[in-house]
Amino acid sequence: MKPTHIEHIGIAVKNLDDSILFYENVLGLKCYAVEEVLDQKVKTAFFMVGQTKIELLQSTDPDGPIGKFVEKKGEGIHHIAYAVEGVAEKLATLEQKGVQLIDKTPRKGAEGLNIGFLHPKSTGGVLIELCEDPNKK
């Protein structure tokens, strides 16, 4: 599949504002964007580290995917996102290989990226996101 790099690491948090303070004041990173993704019922905050981003995710709804995750497992790493070229084709290939997909076709994520999730049951327990920037071609 050959991902080009780790696009971002998604981290579930309870309180976005508190977490932004930690990343800024303790880690010394700068939050460059805060965005609500209605579809995913989350508010996100982004930090750049080299070519990789840290995406903090706070649920806006206890029944949303992040709300349920935090309820079950508490705060922590939620997913790893790999940058690939052609998310749609990659998802189709993976499905042929028997990988269980959450998204059979790409959808829009934060920052306008095309994204698709693979089910942790098929990936050794890690929620994997594939993403590509449609403007970077």
**With binding defined as CB under 5 A, does residue 127 bind Zn ion?**
no
Question: According to CB under 5 A, which one of 20, 54, 66, 81 is a site residue for Zn ion?
Answer: 81
Tell me which residue has its CB nearest to Zn ion.
Answer: 10
| Minimum separation from the CB atom of position 121 to Zn ion (A) | 19
**With binding defined as CB under 5 A, does residue 116 bind Zn ion?**
no
Whole-number Å distance between alpha carbons of 49 and 118? 24
Whole-number Å distance between alpha carbons of 8 and 88? 19
**With binding defined as CB under 5 A, does residue 10 bind Zn ion?**
yes
Question: Which is closer to Zn ion, CB of 129 or CB of 132?
Answer: 129
Whole-number Å distance between alpha carbons of 33 and 15? 16
Choices 14-22, 32-40, 81-89, 94-102; region in contact with Zn ion by CB under 5 A? 81-89
Residue 111 token pair: 């920052």
Q: To the nearest 5 percent, what fractions of the chain are helix, strand and coil? A: 30, 40, 35
- Which stretches of the chain bind Zn ion, using CB under 5 A? 10, 81, 129
